[in-house]
Structures are given as C-alpha cells and as structure tokens.
Structure 1
Amino acid sequence: MPAAADAPLIAMRGVTKTYSGITALEDVGFSIAAGEAVSLAGENGSGKSTLIKILAGVEQRDSGEISFGGQPQNGLTPRTAAAAGVKVIFQDFSLFPNLTVAENIGFSAELGAGHRLVNRGRVRALAEATLQRLGVQIDLDARVESLPVAHKQLVAICRALATEARLIIMDEPTTALTGREVATLLGIIRRLKADGVAVLFVSHKLAEVLEVCEHVVVLRNGRKVAEGPAAEFDQAKLTRHMTGRDVADAPPEALPPDAPLLMAVRGLAKAGAFAAVDFDLHGGEVLGISGLLGSGRTSLAKALFGLVIPDTGSVRVDGRDVALGDPLAAAHAGIGYVPEDRLTEGLFLTQSILRNVGIGRLEAHGRAAGVLDLAGLWADATDWLKRLAVKAPRVTAEVRSLSGGNQQRVVLARWLSRSPRVLVLNGPSVGVDVGSKAEIHGIIRELSAQGLGVIVISDDLPELLTTCHRILVMKDGRITDELAGGTAEADLARRLAS
C-alpha cells in the first residue's frame, strides 16, 4: 500500500523489549520525517543498540507499534526493513575488504534486484553516480582494505544510497575520524537531508549531535527521558539527561610552580613522522598533544613508549635516560601507554577481565622456579578494578563483554597497578559514552593530584581543554604552538587549522 502523504517516514509507539527478564527498552516512541536528522542519544546500556536492531528487523519487539509511511510493520525482518529503505551503517561498516569500491557499493543493489550474474559495467555506473550524488571522489578500482577510515565510511553511505535508502542509521559514525573528516561527514549528512533522506544519528560527541540534528531523543536505562528540538538543548543539558547528573567541565587548577620535573624530551626525531620534538613534563601535570591527521602525534606517543624507534633524540625520566625503541625499558622506567585502539592494541579480548589487569603485575607476584602467586595476583587486580569502578557482571568475564568505557578502565587498571611515573593516554575517551568520558576525565584529574605526569594525545578539543594544564600543537611532525589549558576552544581550533 502507498505511504500516507502526511505520515512520518518512521513512527514508533510503546516499543518494549526484554531479554531473559531484563528490560532493554520500555515504552519508547518517537517519529522521524523524511529529510530530518534525529539524534538518538544515551550512554552505553541505555537501549540505543536494541532500538536500532529492532528498526533494522534484526530483533523483534515484545510489544509496541512501528509504522513506515503510515503503514504498520508487523514481524519486521532485515529483508523487509531493507526493502522499506532502512539502512544501518555500523561502526565497523560491514564492507568487503577484498572487493573494490565499486563492487562494495553495487553489491547490495545487484543482490536486491535479483540479478544472477554481476554486470560490472552496471555496477561501476551505479557506484559512480552514487559518489557524484554525494559530491565526493574515491577511486572506484581501489580495494576497500586500502582506504582510510573516512573513505570507508563514505563507501558504506554510498552502498546504502545505491539501494534507495530512505532512512540511514549511523551508529557512532565519527569515532575514528579527525576533526576535518568529521566536518566533511556532517556536510554529507546535510546533503542527504536536502535530498529527502532521513538520518538517525547515534553519537557520543554531543557538539556534532547539536550541529547536524533538528530533533533529539534521549534514552536512559531503556526509557525515553527527554525529547525535543535540538535548539532546546545544549551540551550540559543533554549530558544531564543522558547521565542523570551534572558533569564538571572546568579546566584543572594551576600547577604548583615547584612541581618536580618528571620527563624531559629533547631533539626527538623520526624521518617522515616527527622532528625536533622538545618538551618537559612535571609531576602532577597533564600535558595535551594535539594535531590534525598526519601531524605526527600518534607516532610521537608510540615513540615515548618505545613502539616507534626514533632516529635521534633522548627521553629522560627522573633524570635517567630511557632506552629508545624498547617498550620493556620504557615500562621499567615508569612510562605507561594506553593505545588509541584498545581493541587491537590494548586488550586480550577473549581473556578475562582479571587476566587483562593481572598481566601487568606478573613480575611482582612471581615466586621461585617461575611459579605465580595467583591468589595475590588476583587480589591485586580485583583491588584495581574496584578503585576504577569497572562495571562487570563478574571479573572472570571476557573483557570483550564490557562497554567501551569499562574496557578503557581495564587498560588503565593494568598500567596503574604498575605505579607508573608517566602515563601516555592516546585518545583516552575514543568510543566511550559521555558518562564514562566524564569518569575517565575524573580519573585523569585524580592521577594528576597524586603527582603522576599524564600526556593526553587527542583531537577532542573539549577533552583537552578540561583535562590539560598545557596543550602542544603539532603540524607536519613539529610542535608549532603551546597553549594554556584554559584557552578558548575557538582559539585552539584556529591554531590546529592554521
């Protein structure tokens, strides 16, 4: 049946879903109009993912009503949802890495049309037309595995458009993007809206939510707790609805003038990555290092921990030289490193939470003949999990079962259990919700108060300004500017872009 002319594109009322007696969604309802961007906001565990799965037909609601264009949808399946124009772009994009850009864009369209054989000319023409619709240029013959993250995301959007998407659900679309790439994506979303495509935008980055969305829906503990035009919200109000509390965002207190020198970096250089890097880090200081993609910030972070071998320069901690290019030497010198990609570089996902923390303390709990004091090791790890308030059903659960914020706390617990002098945090709040982000920032402040030196590598400007005493700006591998932590966000953004 045709859609009613005045009906919303998607309408939900009283949607409820439980899992084994645990309520994931309770009495949730809202609507989305064609050409409208709606923000679905909430912390991890608020019910956002469950609602997305129900709209996509992956999960079935227990009760409630869903209609597309005024037509009731009973027994939604992935096939019927896709046929109605509902497309989901998940965080991993779900692309075929060994296929070309054109093949990835055209695959679903060919499958949906029921073609038994792929017509490469037809696929290429469709892909080219879809890219032109978005006003972007990507090599159609490039394998997707060779593309940067931002281009992979554009390919995923084009694949949705190639199958006549009417609603595109974007799940944390900006997590791995730089500031410039985020601006490009937001421009794409505006173009989609102008073309009549609706967008359900799920993001922990509240500034982006308020910039691109007309309407906001907030979930907390499975219930809708706020809804209204985006103009009625600011970041503080949105955060309060999501978490149920006010979150402090004031810059740190000034560093005492007699704070001891912890780390001295002199003349650190790596051809093609960074050059002539000099800075000091004092006890209790939080030092930010920021820069656009290609600035060298991540290579520098890895070099401080020995994962990248500099060509020249020196790193000293407490007045003693640290062997360069040697992570074990860096760790023994009191340097800890929390990587940006915790899933592939920071955690053993299939191992227990306890083991992920305990591995950082094996030396301290070793006995004769290589035997471990397991009771002491587990007691030590459990204590750190309690200190950092890691939320888990049990400490023996696999770490992959945790939310992003709790996974980050596990990595922090592993390093803090070693009593480091300097902690390098590369993207400390990447992929975590606003509540967990505030708690991680609180942990950084506590570490600073205890006298640790903390280096925060980030392109999240509010994060830098609320946690750091000083911020170093990198461009083309060199430190080009230094700003105080209380600097206005617009000034920091201008220095980064200049």
Structure 2
Amino acid sequence: MVSARTAAAIDRVKAIIDREGVLSISGIRKEFPGVLALDDVQLRIRPGTVHALMGENGAGKSTLMKIIAGVYQPDAGEIRLRGQVVALRSPLDALEQGISMIHQELALMNWMTVAENIWIRREPKNRLGLIDHAKMAQMTADLFARLNIGLDPTVQVSELTVAQKQMVEIAKAVSHNSDVLIMDEPTSALTEREVDHLFAIIRDLRERGIGIVYITHKMNELFEIADEFTVFRDGKYVGTHNASDVTRDDIIRMMVGREITNMFPKVDCPIGDTILEVRNLTLPGVYHDVSFSLRRGEILGLAGLVGSKRSNVAEALFGVHPAESGEILIDGKPVTVANPAQAMAHGMAFLTEDRKETGCFLTLDCLENIQSALITRSHVRNGFVQQAEVNRLAEDMARTLRIKTPNLQETVENLSGGNQQKLLIARWLLTKPRILILDEPTRGIDVGAKSEIHRLITELAAQGVAVLMISSELPEVLGMSDRIMVMHEGHVSGFLNRDEADQVKIMSLAAK
C-alpha cells in the first residue's frame, strides 16, 4: 500500500517529467584541443517519444550523446534526469541512472559470444558463483524472441555480419530497461527489411514510455519514426520542431544553412568498352557463379538484402578474400588478384563498408590516412615521397569533401564517424583509379556531403572511371546507377537497367 506522502511525491516527479521531460540538458559546452564541439546547446526528451537529433557531420550530435552517456564530461551546462540535476561521470554511471546508448561505431567484443556481450557484468551465476551459461543463453533467447531477432545466442560475435552486430547492440541496450535510449545512426548497416524491424522495436519501446534519442542523416527515417526533432549546426543549437510541422527542405536548410537542390546529380555519361569482366566467381559456402561486366564510365549499382554476400564479392575483386574459382578479366585479359596490392596495380580502389575495422588507421593522423594508398602507386621519386605535393593534394581533397578537422595532423580517432568516412573516400579518389569499388560510400554521411560525394562519383564516371557501388539505400542505388545488379544469398538474381528499375523490382529480385 503506497502512503499518501509517497503517492504525492510520485505525482510531483511525474509532473516535473511532463513539464521538463525525462531528460533535459541546457547550456552544454564542450571544447577539445583546437575545436569547440558544443557551444551552449540544449535538448529536451519527453517520455514515450522519439526525438531525432539532426545535423551535418561535426555538428556536435555524437559529442552531446557521449556526454549524456557519461563518456565525456561537459565543460559547462546542466543535465537533468527526471527533474533532478545529475553528474554522469562514466558510462556505467549513466547506465545505472537509466541511460543506454547504441554507439555509431560498434563496440562489441568479437572473441565473445552474443550472450556474453549482452550480459557482460550482469551474468547470471549458479550456486557455486560461476557463470550459468545455459541460463544466460536462455535469457538472450527470450530477449531475442521479444525483439524478433533470429540469432543464435551462443555464436561468436566475430562470425556475424555488420548488420547482425548492430542488432546485437540494439538488444544489449534494450536489455538494460533504461528510461532513455540513445541510438546513434542505428540503421547505417541495415537494409530496408532490417530497418522496418528496428522501427517495430522502437515503436514498442515508445509505447512503454521510453524516451528515445535518434540520430540519423536519413530524412525518410525522421518522418517515419520521429515525433520531434532538434537541429545542431557547427556545435550550436538551431531549433526544435514537431516532425509533422516541417518539410524535408525545411530541415535541410536548418542543417546546412543552404539549399541542396539535387541529391542525386546523375547525368548521362558516355559509356565505353568493358573494362572489368567477372566470370563464375565462386567461394564455396559464400557465393557461387557470380558473373557480370563493368564498362568505362558506367555506375553499376549492387543491391541485395543482408546475407546476399555483396561485400564478399567486392572483397574478392580487390583481393582481400579471393575467390577459389572463376575468372577476373581487365581489358579482356585474365588477371590474378590475390591481394590488394595486385588489385591496386590493376587500377582498382576499394572503399570498405566498415571504416573502423578495415578502413581507417585510427591512431594515425589525417594526412597519413589519406596518403597511405597514394604513396604506394605514385608520388615517389628515387625512393622518397614527394611530401609537399602529397600534402597539397590531401589538403585540396579535404576541402572538397568538407572534412571537419582542425588540421590534417589531427588523429583520426578524434574525428566524427562521418568525417572518417570522408577521409577514406579522399584516400581512394587521390589514387585516380580506373575501377572504383564503393561499399556503402555514404554510410554515416550528412545530407550535404552525400550530395557532394554523389557529384564526385558522377564526375569520375564522366572521366571514364568504372564504378561498382554497393548500397543498402535503394534511393541511392536508383538515383546513381546506370544498371543495377541484384544479389540473393550468394548468387546474382538479376539485372535492371536504369529506365526500368524501381524499388519493387529490386526487392522482388533481392528476396527471390
């Protein structure tokens, strides 16, 4: 029986939460060496709502979320949780106070099982005080059943795809039963089917009264899932609105301070002779009999659901994980591509889908990252790097892609995820490839930079570069491709020309 005094106290807390939100921040400032990341920003999250946080890369979104999650401490400002001022001194502190975060960069431990990752530090124990692995696996299975996630709790995380790891991160965050759940680009590795699944989970959490902070660059997601949104620009608060009160163009203007008139600046480029031909490429148990051709000046989009093995084929072309049988021909001649060095010698470049694990050298600076591919092929004279020329090219490309960094001597791990992605694109564009393989080229990229990268891809095609572009975003595939190849479970299920392709046809081929 709740006493009258306790009931009154509960009512007062509810009134405060209704007025101030379950989470309220004001006047937050955070400065890093040479960079003012946040300058007097504010945010209010109401219970039972999805609040989208929008802004270009470097706008301060992830920095604020890391402050709320206890990763960083602010230099100034106030955080209120359920109406009370709190100091979040560590991620564990934030978790214990009811705040969970799914980071943009996955933070799972690859050598542990799915269940061990989810319940780390909370493992069930048996009578002897040892971890009860059977019970932990059952707890994970029950959690997955509630979230409709079809993964084996006992499988090692290293065996999962990027998309499957993302679902494990989501399940881990939900398992804490927090009042506030922060999702930083949760759909960056998911196809449309997985996004629909995630949105069903989010709607269920919203119905339970959880306040969700949702960071995304994808406009369609905001209008589908968000109740409110807040925009940051250059570390400053711009404004907050109901999602139903604005248009896509309104949001873009708030984000970038300018209008972007053409997200997919695709133009008809002269398409030349076949430069790359793939015949019956096979890696048993992964993909089989993959055959296609790619011509100069052509953008070939590669679509498919998670598990279609699109990325595995790209890795085989670049010699990361070569196929066991089949042929790769360049300019009509069979070539051996047993490693990336051989691929680069044939004029190939490859932007990997996972910038953290297989892309960036996080502990090196921006210049070293950009020049790492460039100096293996050019700008070396008598054994010495032509450093002045390399520096100039790197700086020009950094400006072109609007990479936000104090200077090119900044360590890459200090950059936002989107700026790390731009850095990788800069690296490969500077090699002036003949064949450019792009695996999710705009993942984690803001709307302004997306348009710029699409323009660069089109310009490269106009110069005769052959582009193979893998993307989970169907509008991107449809907007940028001359032809579309669709894969399903390791085989090519069909091709579509630009003038006949639509989302229904792509999904029909991807699911058959």
Q: TM-score range by the shorter chain?
A: 0.7 to 0.9
For residues 190 and 22 of structure 2, the distance between their equivalents in structure 1, rounded to whole angstroms, comes to: 29
| Contact 2:267 2:458 (C-alpha < 8 Å) held by counterparts | no
SS across alignment from 1:49: helix
Q: Structure 1 stretch 343-352 or stretch 181-190: which is displaced more?
A: 343-352
For residues 365 and 119 of structure 1, the distance between their equivalents in structure 2, rounded to whole angstroms, comes to: 56
CA deviation vs aligned residue, 1:19-65 (integer Å, no higher than 9, x gap): 26964334433432222111111122212123223333444445555
Q: Which runs of 5+ in 2 are unaligned?
A: 1-8
Q: Which residue of 2 aligns with 1:299?
A: 312
Q: Which residue of 1 aligns with 2:14?
A: 5
Q: CA RMSD, aligned part only?
A: 3.4
For residues 131 and 309 of structure 1, the distance between their equivalents in structure 2, rounded to whole angstroms, comes to: 34
Q: Does 1:168 align with 2:181?
A: yes
Q: Which residue of 1 aligns with 2:366?
A: 353
How far apart are residue 270 of structure 1 and its match? 0.7
Correspondence 1:85-484 to 2 at 5 A: 85-109=98-122, 120=132, 127=140, 130-136=143-149, 138-247=151-260, 248-250=262-264, 252-256=266-270, 259-272=271-284, 273-359=286-372, 360-368=374-382, 370-386=383-399, 388-484=401-497
| Contact 2:348 2:435 (C-alpha < 8 Å) held by counterparts | yes
SS across alignment from 2:201: helix
SS across alignment from 2:100: strand
| Contact 2:299 2:483 (C-alpha < 8 Å) held by counterparts | yes
Cα gap change, 1:233/1:278 in structure 2, threshold over 3 Å: closer, same or farther? farther
SS across alignment from 2:48: coil
The letter for the 2-side match of 1:190 is R
Q: Which residue of 1 aligns with 2:4?
A: none
Cα gap change, 1:220/1:184 in structure 2, threshold over 3 Å: closer, same or farther? same
Provide the identity percentage. 35
Q: Structure 1 stretch 211-220 or stretch 318-327: which is displaced more?
A: 318-327
TM-score (norm 1): 0.85
The letter for the 2-side match of 1:269 is L
Cα gap change, 1:327/1:230 in structure 2, threshold over 3 Å: closer, same or farther? same
The letter for the 2-side match of 1:263 is I
For residues 45 and 386 of structure 1, the distance between their equivalents in structure 2, rounded to whole angstroms, comes to: 14
How far apart are residue 308 of structure 1 and its match? 3.6
Q: Which residue of 1 aligns with 2:510?
A: 496
TM-score (norm 2): 0.83
| Contact 2:272 2:464 (C-alpha < 8 Å) held by counterparts | no
CA deviation vs aligned residue, 1:393-451 (integer Å, no higher than 9, x gap): 22233333333344334333333333321211111112222222222112112212222
How far apart are residue 73 of structure 1 and its match? 1.0
For residues 89 and 329 of structure 1, the distance between their equivalents in structure 2, rounded to whole angstroms, comes to: 38
| Contact 1:286 1:456 (C-alpha < 8 Å) held by counterparts | yes
Which of residues 58, 66, 85 is equivalent to 1:73?
A: 85
For residues 237 and 45 of structure 1, the distance between their equivalents in structure 2, rounded to whole angstroms, comes to: 20
For residues 262 and 385 of structure 1, the distance between their equivalents in structure 2, rounded to whole angstroms, comes to: 32
How far apart are residue 236 of structure 1 and its match? 3.9
Q: Which runs of 4+ in 1 moved over 6 A?
A: none
| Contact 2:27 2:40 (C-alpha < 8 Å) held by counterparts | yes
| Contact 1:12 1:28 (C-alpha < 8 Å) held by counterparts | no
For residues 39 and 13 of structure 2, the distance between their equivalents in structure 1, rounded to whole angstroms, comes to: 28
Q: Structure 1 stretch 115-124 or stretch 159-168: which is displaced more?
A: 115-124
How far apart are residue 263 of structure 1 and its match? 1.6
The letter for the 1-side match of 2:447 is V
The letter for the 1-side match of 2:334 is D
| Contact 1:265 1:313 (C-alpha < 8 Å) held by counterparts | no
| Contact 1:358 1:414 (C-alpha < 8 Å) held by counterparts | yes
The letter for the 1-side match of 2:267 is E
The letter for the 2-side match of 1:193 is R
How far apart are residue 456 of structure 1 and its match? 0.6
| Contact 1:41 1:202 (C-alpha < 8 Å) held by counterparts | yes
Which of residues 16, 27, 30 is equivalent to 2:28?
A: 16
State how many pairs are aligned.
Answer: 492
| Contact 1:361 1:417 (C-alpha < 8 Å) held by counterparts | no
Q: Structure 1 stretch 396-405 or stretch 33-42: which is displaced more?
A: 396-405
CA deviation vs aligned residue, 1:244-289 (integer Å, no higher than 9, x gap): 2233124622344xx3214241423214333443433333221111
CA deviation vs aligned residue, 1:307-361 (integer Å, no higher than 9, x gap): 3433444333334433243533332222222222233323333233333333323
For residues 294 and 61 of structure 1, the distance between their equivalents in structure 2, rounded to whole angstroms, comes to: 41
The letter for the 2-side match of 1:267 is R
Cα gap change, 1:255/1:38 in structure 2, threshold over 3 Å: closer, same or farther? same
SS across alignment from 1:5: helix
For residues 148 and 99 of structure 1, the distance between their equivalents in structure 2, rounded to whole angstroms, comes to: 15
| Contact 1:14 1:26 (C-alpha < 8 Å) held by counterparts | no
Cα gap change, 1:33/1:288 in structure 2, threshold over 3 Å: closer, same or farther? same
Q: Which residue of 1 aligns with 2:5?
A: none
Q: Structure 1 stretch 217-226 or stretch 97-106: which is displaced more?
A: 97-106
